[in-house]
Amino acid sequence: MNDPQSPERFNEEKAAFAVRGAEAPDIEAGVAAIRNVLNTLPIRPGVYRMQDARGDVLYVGKARALKNRVTNYTQVNRLSKRLQRMVAQTRSMTIVTTNNEAEALLLEAQLIKRYRPPYNVLLRDDKSFPFILLRQDHDFARVQLHRGARRFKGDYFGPFAGAGQVRKTLNALQKLFLLRSCTDSFFATRDRPCLLYQIRRCSAPCVGRIDAAGYAELVGDARDFLQGKSTKVQAKLGEQMQAAAEALDFELAAILRDRLKALTFIQGSQAINADGVGDADIFALAAKSGVIGIEAFFIRGGQNWGHRSFFPSHTQDVPEDDVLAAFLMQFYEEVPPAKNVFVDRELPEAALLAEAMGERAGHKVALSVPQRGTRRRLLDQAKRNAEEALDRRLAESTTQAKLLREMADLFDLAEPPNRIEVYDNSHIQGTNAVGAMIVAGPEGFRKSQYRKFNIKRAETIAGDDYGMMREVLSRRFARAQDEDPDRSQGDWPDLVLLDGGKGQLNAARAVLEELGIEDVCMVGVAKGPHHGRDGREVFHLMDGSERMLPVNAPLLFYLQRLRDEVHRFVIGAHRDKRAKAIGASPLDEVPGIGPARKKALLMHFGTARAVRNASLEDLRKAPGVSAAVAQQVYDFYHSR
């Protein structure tokens, strides 16, 4: 009777589960699916995925001994309500074994990021972390802001909490070390120094104002500074300034003095004093009203590189320690950990977490709870910031929830919208046309779900705003029908806002009718009776009615924010497309002609038209152009 696998024990647990309001057949089917997997499970480390009837991943977990861990899910009466609901939906499992538990922990974080399961704690953050990149793929290294994959050769310094901190540091690097920030193509075409040289923010290696050895020395100083060795750099600058003054080179001494001032200013402008800490990431957790906030501070070389607040989702009924542990593994899926990671509480399996983070980083990582000194003071500061950020989040969410309820009343929605999509188009006389979609919800803008649409269908007439809107919406909803016909993934909108009046709304309605979609609410947002000069808007509903709001209504301000955000996004997309078109050349159409050969042809002939009109013999004479390439270019233009 005590055997957790016995039928008597299972019937007791099934009855208890049914009393709590769940469907007994569901839990029975879920436990049966898990038992089916148990028969073949080994007692070794690995990762398991629990899936529903459609094969969608419900939960990803890791275990030191798979068989022992998965067996726990058959003991329904010992599970929390959240896990009982998960078991009731489970119909299959996928198992992956690993060599050790640290590998399982790393794989678990990767799979959680890939599948975003609804029963895992999830780190929700739309923004990637910026780094400073000191590139080493050029004789004169370039310093720049970098996001994303590390595809360039060079030194990466970060993470920084935001682009603002990166730009501040880049500004300091320009003043201190006079490193170039221009692109390689801009560098190659200079015949005189640019403005940055004139204002003493670049040493102008492009035109030989500094030789390779001198520039390499500046690069080394910049690397020392970014690694926290600012005292060494300061002493070196002081010695150079003294030597210049003794040599009566007062102009050089003045330049070095200004660089010393910039260094002193940067050292004194740190928001927190982290001397002696070295490289460290600091995390503190705050919880209130069922919401959890985590504050992260980034210290590199004793310098404060900013902090950021996070609010993980799916944290109900999950112990705070487990939330922080799960957060750390997902956080370090993209960001390399510092040598020291400080947290505000003892974590379960702390040694395993440190081992997994060290394996990912390629160096030893120490995970600890500071008790005294500078480290404890920094941790207390992070804790205070976490509590303040959580209070702001709760206040904002309360206001946001109120706005969404008012929006539901205004537009006759059954309940407050969870996903709002806003659409707009941008073009200049029909050229470089692009459409855009932004997404918002109770938690604010969801920037990772923004989308751009290049207007490309032949039937869409250039400059036809209604036609462009039809194309954008038909592509969006046709794809939604293909990828999520049951609307179970949360990607279908509860409300669609269109920048435009009745015409745009009618075009959108025609798209929905053609696709057989009848239950998506769409609203056209148009300027008011005085063309928006009084700050009012007219909202056109699908039943033909119109609504307006008082000029001082908070809901009106929120709806205008949504419209302004889609304006910002679509105009940026249009400008990017236009800039790319301006930089395009007719030679881009010639197959097999890369940037180097295209440049060689243009440098030799002057214009793309001259290339098109050139004889085969003239093409062969162009430097860097082989006979085969010349024949290819000639045939392209003369065989039509």
Q: Map out the domains of the chain as residue ranges.
A: 7-115, 131-268, 280-393, 420-581, 586-638
Query: Cα(165)–Cα(125) distance, rounded to whole angstroms?
Result: 18
Do 7-115 and 420-581 fold alike per CATH?
no
Query: Cα(609)–Cα(613) distance, rounded to whole angstroms?
Result: 6
The pLDDT value recorded for residue 267 is 52
State pTM to two decimals. 0.67
C-alpha gyration radius of the chain: 31
The pLDDT value recorded for residue 489 is 76
Query: Cα(422)–Cα(524) distance, rounded to whole angstroms?
Result: 10
Q: Are 226 and 144 in contact (CB under 8 A)?
A: no
Domain covering 7-115, topology: GIY-YIG endonuclease (3.40.1440)
Question: Model confidence over 355-372: pLDDT tens digits?
Answer: 998 888 888 999 999 998
Q: Which helix (H) or strand (E) holds 184?
A: helix 184-188
* Residue closest to 67 by CA, chosen among 45, 47, 43: 43
Domain boundaries 280-393, corresponding CATH code: 3.30.420.340
Q: For residue 89, what are its two tokens?
A: 């939906």
* Residue closest to 230 by CA, chosen among 143, 172, 168: 172
Query: Cα(536)–Cα(251) distance, rounded to whole angstroms?
Result: 60
Query: Does domain 420-581 bear CATH number 3.30.420.340?
Result: yes
According to CATH, the superfamily of the domain at 586-638 is 5' to 3' exonuclease, C-terminal subdomain (1.10.150.20)
Q: Is 340 helix (H, G, I), strand (E, B) or coil?
A: strand
Place of tokens 């949504």: 562
Residue type, 381: Q
* Residue closest to 635 by CA, chosen among 610, 617, 621, 616: 616
Q: Are 8 and 1 in contact (CB under 8 A)?
A: yes
Q: Are 569 and 438 in contact (CB under 8 A)?
A: yes
- Mean pLDDT per 10-residue section of the chain, whose length is 640 residues: 45 43 68 89 90 90 91 88 90 91 90 89 75 85 83 83 78 80 84 85 88 87 75 72 76 71 55 68 91 89 81 87 91 86 90 89 89 88 91 84 90 89 82 87 87 84 83 90 80 90 88 87 81 70 88 89 90 76 61 72 73 79 78 74
The pLDDT value recorded for residue 293 is 92
Q: Residues 485, 486, 492, 496: is their CA dihedral positive or negative?
A: positive
Q: How many Å separate Cα 509 from the centre of its chain?
A: 33
The pLDDT value recorded for residue 266 is 53
* Residue closest to 270 by CA, chosen among 365, 179, 374, 146: 374
The pLDDT value recorded for residue 581 is 59
How many residues in total does the chain contain? Answer: 640
* Residue closest to 121 by CA, chosen among 315, 300, 257, 277: 315
